[in-house]
Amino acid sequence: MPQKKFYRSRAHCNPLSFNEAFDYPTRPDLFDWTEDHYPEHPTLAQDDAEMSGFNSQSAAIRPDVLDVGCGFGGLTMALSHALPNNTILGLEIRAKVTEYVRLRIVAQRKEHPGQYHNCSVMRTNAMKYLPNFFPKAALEKLFFCFPDPHFKRKNHPRRIVSERLLS
């Protein structure tokens, strides 16, 4: 299990800063979630006949529950256990924190075989790139815990919960 003290990071990150280090697909159907995020997803284990490459089964695996701004992954891990029939994805913008959550998930998968295969974490800017990963009406639940409110009008573009994101 990774130690949190080695993965400390600033509490806030400017989502509007020029940061093009994120990889994202041009269309949602071009992203294979099984490659890096869900290689042993429970749905894949049910069908052993089609285990080679990018097939229809792996194309059907797509996160349907998001934890936007997942932080150190507490809710993402709890949702994995509470919603075993869903596919959970934690989104975080900070690189060190994302790496901590990834290592935490890997450690839990080794410690508890057969569990935590329906959750993963991804480093991305949800404000900019969420439409590139998910088609319309593909998500069942969105969790926004502790979003920055930005009450001043000049900071309204920094709000994560916006009309563009929710449409």
Q: Residue 120's pLDDT is what?
A: 95
Candidates 23, 32, 67, 148; catalytic one: 148
Residue that wins the pLDDT comparison between 19 and 87: 87
Active site residue 148: yes
Residue that wins the pLDDT comparison between 100 and 154: 100
Closest among 83, 78, 93, 48 to 63, alpha carbons compared: 83
Q: Residue 40's pLDDT is what?
A: 86
Tokens of 46: 């049910």
- In our burial notation (b when 16+ CB lie closer than 10 A, e otherwise), range 19-41 reads eeeeebeeebeebbbbeebbeeb
Residue that wins the pLDDT comparison between 58 and 110: 110
- Render pLDDT for 25-81 as a digit per residue (tens, 0 to 9): 888 888 888 888 888 887 876 655 455 454 555 557 889 999 998 989 999 999 999
Q: What is the pTM of this model?
A: 0.78
pLDDT exceeds 70 at position 85: yes
Q: Residue 19's pLDDT is what?
A: 61
Q: Residue 83's pLDDT is what?
A: 94
* Mean of the per-residue pLDDT values of the chain: 81
- Render pLDDT for 122-152 as a digit per residue (tens, 0 to 9): 998 888 888 888 888 889 999 988 766 777 8
Cα 126 from chain centroid?
9
Whether residue 26 contacts residue 129, with contact meaning beta carbons closer than 8 Å, is answered with: no
Q: Residue 129's pLDDT is what?
A: 84
